[in-house]
Structure 1
């Protein structure tokens, strides 16, 4: 086949050249007895692989399938069972490799059977991406990275494409790099950082199960996270061929930036580490700062702590504020808090009876504690309309949100006073009108 393509662009001539080579190769295979024998070996290898897989796969499934779901070997066995779909293409690939050795010994050629072996390898990669990869990110990477690379390898174009990408150099300013380094970086970076994320989640789950202070647990989790992703970054730089010595200059520049423009960020980061080590305020504590911010700490990051108020709002407080200002910690991981409920009684009341009545009533509340102190009713003063009292009581938790301790105690006080005939006063005012003649009123 000869075509005059001198008038066409070079890319068209190159594609046409590959087409002619493929046509000549196909015709050579169709007219060659050695090629037909290789086709026969391919078909035989595939049928033999199907026969073996039909018998081997059920046996392996019975052997690997865990009967006891609570066994320590359950997870590894379930992991191994995922690879059963690869048995058929890998068996065909192995049997074809044996046939290739025989054909090359007899005919001193094996192009056809080598192509068939690569096809079986492509089918194995396809089954791996379709049936084994469950993670959405890995499936995406398999469809758009692994399958195209396997297809190029199957048709013998992988070396050609790799060479073309290696010779294509692009530049950004004074930095120049080849497209193959970009592709290698994308693939390696995706795998490394996915593996880092998976390792970080597994390590965090393991640390969460350990018995230690919550602050130390959070510090360990953050430390492991920085170590994993730092190691992944260094490995990626090495894979892409970037000189790690150049990072020293970058690190120096970052250090200068931290010293001048990023002082607050560095201060908040160090303050966060101090908070995690000391444990004076950690996740789950209800705190109140000098600036008026108050809420439950729901998350602590490298820069700030996030407080959630009882009305559902989130307040982001820099870590530095916990170190440089006064912080009131109401929770301290579940310690008791004292509250008081004020009330008044009439001046006609025998006030000597009130403390015992109120303390007994408040003690009936299921959340009121006897330790460190039982309910204590105290006389506070003599008001305009009545005698002022207040009862102090201790509870575990905060008197807000889902808890209504003061409200419950006031109900108990009301009912106890009513049951004992004690009057709760309300303001009285006496108005005296003088000077009726001056106002034109009748006497």
Structure 2
């Protein structure tokens, strides 16, 4: 027979001998009975205790105190009640069997199985984050299964003995697996910490928007920087060995990543100076215009009035001319043009229009009230324009100017002033053709 078949047969014979010895051993039967009894007792206790525990730990929905949050967090562990009770009862039974029979291999196996069930419940029912759930599915549950079967040490030894050469560096598969798991957990915790700090900073309304943005970016860099240093320290990687990588990264920035570095530094300058921040309506020389809805390390995202998003590199805010219409809520001046007939007494027009526009609730009197000005004498009528100040941005001349033009039209109609339409004079030289 092939060697692998011979090994399988040997393992099968060994398993058969162990099973036969357990079947003929009073100690094995008693341990198996204790395992079944522990599980049934755990099921009974869980049915009695779980409703009381859930009632005790469930706070009112509108209660957001620290104690309530702790109670809600503790409530998440109720799926572990059954396997942990079975594990505890089996552990007590193991002490009894070892004191009577001097052995407890079978009940120890049952205890490991209950612990595996607890691990599976933790990974399946408690982990809600997609990344942590994936980590529990592909790493935590297999490790628990190997531990329950008593194969964890042999598998770990096999992984440690498998060395992967990588140039002048080499590492074993066990180290790689540990690195992936620890790195994933540390950077997930870093992301969670960054979300919490970002939420806290956004609530500080007394800070300027640009200062809040800068504080968020600083906290993000600090959190992930510390996470990287902790990971290197845990895995035993000396930071001096990263000098070559840092040098290569510097060369890459100097050649291929200079635009990214430039945009990153430009973003920091924007946050420090606060000349353009989230909520401002800006217009760039390139024609891009919109409200800044987000500022990242590489670019600012503008939202136009028709709902489109424009990604503008941070560098464009530094090297080109930028018109900021908002400046965090400052007033803006607009004008609405109109014409009146040449038969009109133009001396009456400014008073009529200024009074009508002043009645609009969105028109400001500070820094200046409505101002109707004569602009010129057109082909069909006399051209006027009324200037007015508002808080905010005119949505493509539709948000405020439209209301102002309605007010102008109604005011002129009430005063009996005609709004002209184009007139053309046609001169025909000579006589009309006959017949």
TM-score (norm 1): 0.90
Q: Which residue of 2 aligns with 1:222?
A: 217
Kindly provide the CA deviation profile for residues 310-365 of structure 1, in whole angstroms up to 9, marking residues without a partner as x: 23333222212212222111011221111111222222211111111111111222
Distance 1:150 1:299 in 2: 44
Match of 2:72 in 1: 78
Query: Which residue of the partner structure matches residue 26 of structure 1?
Result: 19
1:399 to 390, 394, 400: 394
CA contact (8 A) 1:185 1:239 kept: no
Give the CA deviation at 1:239.
Answer: 4.3
Corresponding residue pairs, total: 432
Could you tell me which runs of 5 or more consecutive residues in structure 2 were left unpaired when the two chains were aligned.
Answer: none
Q: Which residue matches 2:143?
A: 149
The partner residue of 2:317 within 297, 315, 322 is 322
SS in 1 for 2:290: strand
Residue by residue over 1:1-33, the C-alpha shift from the partner in whole angstroms, topping out at 9 and shown as x without a partner, is: xxxxxx313x43333333222222111111122
Identify the range of structure 1 (219-228 vs 395-404) with the bigger mean alpha-carbon deviation.
Answer: 395-404
1:171 to 165, 173, 180: 165
1:213 to partner: Cα distance: 1.3
Q: 1:167 touches 1:178 (CA, 8 Å); kept in 2?
A: yes
Q: 1:423 aligns with which of 413, 418, 426?
A: 418
Distance 1:226-1:16 versus aligned 2 partners, 3 A rule: farther
Shift of 1:377: 0.8
Distance 1:12 1:338, change over 3 A: same
Q: Equivalent of 2:112, from 112, 118, 143?
A: 118
Q: What is the alpha-carbon distance in structure 1 between the residues aligned to residue 421 and residue 62 of structure 2?
A: 70
Conservation of the 8 A alpha-carbon contact between 1:377 and 1:390: yes
Q: Does 1:338 align with 2:333?
A: yes
Q: Deviations over 1:177-200 (max 9, x none)?
A: 211122222222322222222222
1:271 equivalent in structure 2: 266
The residue aligned with 2:30 is 37
Q: Which of 128, 133, 142 is equivalent to 1:139?
A: 133
Distance 2:19 2:180 in 1: 36
| Root mean square deviation, CA, Å | 2.3
- Which residue of structure 2 lines up, in the alignment, with residue 377 of structure 1? 372
Q: Structure 2 matches for 1:197-346, cutoff 5 A?
A: 197-211=191-205, 212-346=207-341
> 2:57: which partner in 1?
64
What is the aligned counterpart of 1:161 among 142, 155, 164?
155
**Whole-angstrom distance in 2 between the partners of 1:418 and 1:270:** 57
After superposition, the Cα gap between the structure-2 partners of 1:216 and 1:17, relative to the gap in structure 1 and judged at 3 Å, is farther
**Residues 119, 399 of structure 1: alpha-carbon distance in 2 compared, 3 angstrom cutoff:** same
Q: Deviations over 1:205-239 (max 9, x none)?
A: 12211121111111222222222223333333444
Residues 357 and 416 in structure 1, CA contact (< 8 A), matched pair in contact too = yes
TM-score normalised by length of structure 2: 0.92
Structure 1, 121-130 or 12-21: larger mean CA deviation: 12-21
Deviation at 1:269, TM superposition (A): 0.9
Partner of 1:3: none
